[in-house]
Structure 1
Amino acid sequence: MFDKVYGCYYRAVKQILREAVQKPLSAARMEEIVRACGFQESALTILPKIKEGTWSFGEMDEQGNFCPAVSHVPLLPLTYLQKSWLKALLSDPRIGLFVEDEERKYLEKNLDGVEALYSEDDFYYFDRYLDGDDYASPEYQKNFRTALLALRVGKPLFVAYAGKRKGREMVLDGDEGTGQHDCRYKERPAGRCEERHPGNQRNGSGDCVTHEALPIQMQYSSKDDKFRLCCLERFRGDFSREVVFNMARIRACHISRQEIRTVPKGPRFPDGLRCEEPVTIAISGERNSLERCMLHFANYEKHTEFDRKRGEYICSIHYDRADETELLVELLSFGPVIRILGPEPFLCQVRERVRRQHELLYGKV
């Protein structure tokens, strides 16, 4: 999409210059850089031009090492296409989650006069739900940035999460400027979630339960237009229990001062949420059902092949467990043009939902 000056040749030469500024580079090291930044055959084009001085970036010394002609690596300016793309990003309602208001104003000022590459009106989301997250909410933005910071630095979060169960009041002591707090809890009846901030201020924010969890991954659903925070919740002294928080239901969150004693071994998401077996469906092909299924389930990982004996398409759909109910409803919406073949636990849910729907409309079978 961007200009060729940001292609693999330029990235390879830039990396060579960056390292050569520190110390002369051997031919073997330059070849390693070129192969890492470009293609296997890129070294056949780039290295001769550098060694022979065709590109005038430097010269080879008596030991056969490359010495650059510059004392620092020059910065590449943004192309107009990149500026146009950045201008388009500033119109995205989610940009406020990643960029502070001052940064946004600074970018808008410097991109004044640049035409945006696209606008939000250029897109039509025919299958997106209309109850997406409120990205303009100051509370949402604050919680999102705090969660993102905890994810980056690898520290646990104390999360006040909206729920219907009996919870505990979260009492926080610490420095509001650093965003780090010590937490203690006391039991409270369900009915209100009260957070005590430094300064003894209280904010009532509905029923909620407090959690101590270690962020592992931030997920975004284009269809739901919602963010989810995948975490490992503290369970029996360790961060071991998988939990997913909808960002819109987080009422408050703060980074813990406590260091993690035992680091969880290996990534737990997204494989931790992945279904054990994919849902297998048979697509008849009638009424453009194949095209409709491929388009409708484009956001899922899937494998499709044609069964010549039956004259139908067999499609295996992989999904996250959190999306199981949504996938079930979507499959049922296709009616008789598809058949759900398995696995058996998923089929049991299908039969139960169809039975309840039949009882609702026509009475018990």
Structure 2
Amino acid sequence: MELFHEYKNKYFHLVFRILNLAKNGLYKDEIIRLIEDEEYDEKVIGKDFKTFEGMILNQYGKEDNFNFLEEREGKYYSILNSEDSIPLKVRFSKLEKSWLNGMIKEPVVQTLLGKETSKKLETALTDMKEKGSNQIIEFTNKVQNGFDIDLEKLSKDFYTILEGIINEKPILYSNVDKNGNEYNNQLAIPIRIEYSLKDDKFRASLYSLDEKRSILVNLHTLKEVKIAKNVDSNIKRKDVLKKLKEKKYSEVPITIELEDIRGAMERCFMSFSSFERNSRTISKNKYEIDIYYYTFEEDEVIRKIMSLGPYVKVKAPNRVREIIIDKIKRAFMYETT
């Protein structure tokens, strides 16, 4: 499997998940819901207009199906004959183990994982030579925090917000922003928890039910957060994500044509790893890629495209192509003057 092949890696993870969950059997509608949550909008992935859903549920001929599941008494079971509770396990490389061994020494990591989980990880990593330090990891462009973190409170708030995300429950929070403004008993739907390595901060992405907009709060500035009780909100997390995407996403993606010379494809996928993409082969070593982005990210997308050099050209939209042509012309004129 190619390291940067987005389709293969995304569907590989989906198969991995389904096989593990199907050890004790899954109903058809449960499998379909898992697929709908994770698959690309373009559902046809196989030849002759076959879908991932059809191939995983054995809806075609034997040669065309994945044949990973077998149906018994109305439920689908993994074909893996494993006594283990997790049929497919993640296998870590030595480098990944070294990184993990260093990370579990960090106080904030130990606090979030808890003593029991941290102890299990330490026991599992006893074969690693690097112990008790994080010296093998080099952090760059990291800002030094000017505040103290209450690890116990951070852990409590982290898991409260996580509970709200998992159980689709609104939260009530009180916060102090960077300007010292206080917001008390704010009602919001938790969307995700983020960590900024550069700033060394945990943040919560929320949708304010009071202000009808998305907001971002730092966990270290939260005064209090709790699950809101007796609050029946008709707005669900997935609805908010869909609404935000429709509102802030560009109307059309930027479509580029890329010739895979000197690792251009790999560099492209690395550059756009945080963006939603669709890619397809149009000939040998030549690919077409749709890049979806938030409107405020357009300058960054253009800069990344130009950094790929002469092996890429913008096919659409015309407006973006003209912007890049103008930038190249001005750069050339500057060099010749």
Give 1:340's aligned residue.
314
Q: Helix, strand or coil for the counterpart of 2:205?
A: strand
The aligned counterpart of 1:38 is: 78
* Deviation for aligned residue 1:337: 3.4
- 1:123, CA displacement in angstroms? 7.5
> In structure 2, which of residues 165, 168, 175 is the aligned counterpart of residue 160 of structure 1?
175
Mapped pair 1:241 → 2:213: yes
Tell me if the contact between 1:156 and 1:214 (Cα under 8 Å) persists in the aligned partners: yes
Answer with 1 or 2: which has the greater Rg. Answer: 1
Structure 2 Cα separation of the partners of residues 344 and 327 of structure 1: 15
Alignment gaps of 5+ in structure 2: 1-18, 26-70
Question: Which residue in 2 is equivalent to 1:313?
Answer: 287
SS at match of 1:268: helix
5+ long unaligned stretches in structure 1: 1-6, 14-29, 47-54, 56-73, 171-182, 185-210
Q: Secondary structure at the match of 1:138?
A: coil
Q: Is the 8 A contact 1:150 1:157 kept in 2?
A: no
Does 2:236 align with 1:268? no
Q: Distance in 2 between matches of 1:331 and 1:115?
A: 43
Q: How does 1:134-213 map to 2 (within 5 A)?
A: 138-139=149-150, 142-143=153-154, 145-153=156-164, 154-160=169-175, 162-163=177-178, 168-170=181-183, 183=184, 212-213=187-188
1:24 matched to which residue of 2? Answer: none
What does residue 221 of structure 2 align with? 251
Question: In the superposition, relative to structure 1, how do residues 99 and 272 fare at CA in structure 2: closer, same or farther (>3 Å)?
Answer: same
Does the Cα contact within 8 Å between 1:143 and 1:253 map onto a contact in 2?
no
Equivalent residue, structure 1, for 2:15: none
| Conserved 8 A contact 1:159-1:253 | yes
- Taking the aligned partners of 1:277 and 1:115, their CA distance within structure 2 comes to 51
Change (3 A) 1:246 1:8: closer
2-structure distance, mates of 1:326, 1:141: 38
Q: CA deviation at 1:97?
A: 5.6
**Deviations 1:302-349 (CA, angstroms, capped at 9, x unpaired):** 23334459x953211234567555444333333443333444676688
Q: Work out the number of aligned pairs and report it.
A: 251
Aligned to 1:130: 141
- The structure in which a higher percent of residues are helix is 2
Q: Aligned AA for 2:175?
A: A
Contact 2:258 / 2:288 at 8 angstroms: preserved in 1? yes
Deviation (angstroms), 1:146: 0.7
Q: Is the CA contact (8 Å cut-off) linking 1:215 and 1:229 kept in structure 2?
A: yes
Using a 3 Å threshold, how does the CA distance of structure 1 residues 146 and 282 change in structure 2: closer, same or farther?
same
Identity of aligned residues (%): 17
The match for 1:215 is: 190
Q: Residue 296 of structure 1 aligns with which residue?
A: 271
1:232, distance to aligned residue in structure 2 (A): 0.8
Q: Is the 8 A contact 1:216 1:231 kept in 2?
A: yes
User: Could you tell me which amino acid in structure 1 is paired with residue 207 of structure 2?
Assistant: L
Name which of 115, 120, 140 aligns with 2:127.
115
Deviations 1:249-282 (A, max 9, x none): x522422575324241461354444435332222
What TM-score comes out, normalization by structure 1 length? 0.47
* TM-superposed deviation, 1:290: 2.6
State the 1:233 CA deviation. 1.1
**1:115: Cα distance to partner?**
1.9
